[in-house]
């Protein structure tokens, strides 16, 4: 009986300390790990959120770019940080939901080592083609792809990347056999598209929008579940001829496992509030990124569904990484 009371007292003491810590948090600057190089969509999203959090929390939220291994280096660093609320990490679809199916062993477990705080944004992707390709819409591209198996080439930012798997999903749903050509990033792939060395890319809007407006490439459809507000005339690929097609290149906020639920709740409140601010939403939209805040529970369920979805695509398309 005495031992049970001691255990109960210990649990209560931990709970009290945790609650007090949450009430005084933050008492110093917060590190926000962005797992990609400066300048890209993940970095832009991280900096928009960090600026707003700095204002609302009263302490600096400092973006720490830790790129490499398709985002896994930065996410691993965040997962292994002390769970005290002073390290936040931006997790993306690749290192959270796709890579568990691509790699036999990862340095972290996305489910066990991280706590989802909120879905943050979608870095919108768009299906674009070289102007010489004789297609004006998605249905014509499907017909051409079926008529010319293994003759159309689609570029991507790398093996296993979102734009790669978008092409594989398109092949599966549309009955086409486009050939994948990987590059070391979206920019080199775009250069080769404009040169005519590949005919198709499922590009990020931020990479493609200047070339679309300049008439150097042709946009056929958005990869996500809804149209882009800055290009409302462009249909989604699903509504334009490939039912069921949906690729959302999402970003979300995570903290290390063990972080108190009070801090998770406070972070969720502040990030969601920041992403609803008109100036923050506009800054993201101008880069082809759409704010999509959620509750922690909604985000956790979404991660689960995305992980299951991409595991099937990876398996069925026999996607391999070196």
DSSP class per residue in 77-111: HHHTS-SSSSEEEEEEHIIIIIHHHH-S--SS-TT
| Residue ranges of domains in the chain, CATH in brackets | 28-122+249-316 (3.40.190.150), 125-240 (3.40.190.10)
Nearest-angstrom CA–CA distance, 204 and 237: 14
What is the average pLDDT across 243-266?
A: 97
Q: Phi/psi of residue 96, each to 5°?
A: -100, -50
Task: Identify the sign of the CA torsion 171, 102, 219, 276.
Answer: positive
What 48-51 contacts at long range (C-beta under 8 Å, 24+ apart), as own/partner pairs, is: 48/274, 48/280, 48/283, 48/284, 49/120, 49/253, 49/271, 49/274, 49/275, 49/280
pLDDT at 20: 52
Q: Phi/psi of residue 6, each to 5°?
A: -65, -40
Kindly report the pTM of this predicted structure: 0.86
pLDDT at 300 over 60: yes
pLDDT digits (tens, 9 = 90+) for 263-284: 999 999 999 999 999 999 999 9
pLDDT digits (tens, 9 = 90+) for 149-183: 999 999 998 888 899 999 999 999 999 999 999 98
pLDDT at 185: 83
């Amino acid at each position: 009986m005495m031992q049970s009371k001691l255990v109960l007292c210990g649990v209560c003491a931990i709970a009290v300390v945790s609650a007090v810590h949450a009430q005084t948090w933050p008492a110093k600057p917060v590190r926000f790990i962005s797992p990609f190089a400066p300048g890209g969509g993940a970095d832009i999203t991280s900096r928009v959120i960090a600026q707003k959090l700095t204002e609302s929390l009263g302490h600096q939220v400092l973006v720490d770019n830790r790129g490499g291994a398709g985002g896994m280096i930065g996410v691993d660093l965040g997962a292994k940080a002390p769970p005290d609320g002073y390290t936040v990490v931006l997790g993306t679809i690749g290192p959270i939901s796709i890579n568990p199916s691509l790699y036999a062993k990862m340095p972290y477990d996305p489910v066990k080592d991280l706590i989802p705080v909120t879905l943050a944004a979608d870095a919108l992707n768009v299906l674009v083609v070289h102007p010489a390709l004789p297609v004006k819409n998605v249905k014509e591209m499907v017909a051409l792809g079926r008529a010319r198996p293994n003759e159309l080439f689609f570029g991507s930012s790398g093996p296993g990347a979102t734009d790669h798997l978008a092409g594989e999903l398109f092949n599966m749903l549309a009955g086409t056999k486009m050939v994948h050509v990987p590059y070391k990033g979206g920019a080199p792939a775009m250069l080769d598209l404009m040169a005519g060395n590949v005919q198709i890319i499922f590009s990020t809007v931020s990479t493609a929008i200047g070339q679309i407006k300049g008439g150097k490439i042709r946009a056929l459809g958005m990869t996500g579940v809804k149209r882009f507000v800055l290009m409302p005339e462009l249909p989604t690929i699903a509504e334009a001829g490939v039912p069921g097609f949906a690729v959302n290149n999402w970003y979300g906020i995570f903290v290390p496992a063990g972080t108190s639920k009070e801090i998770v709740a406070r972070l969720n409140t502040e990030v969601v509030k920041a992403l609803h601010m008109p100036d923050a939403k506009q800054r993201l939209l101008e880069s082809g990124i759409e704010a999509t805040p959620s509750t922690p529970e909604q985000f956790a369920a979404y991660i689960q569904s995305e992980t299951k979805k991409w595991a099937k695509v990876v398996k069925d398309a026999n996607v391999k990484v070196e």
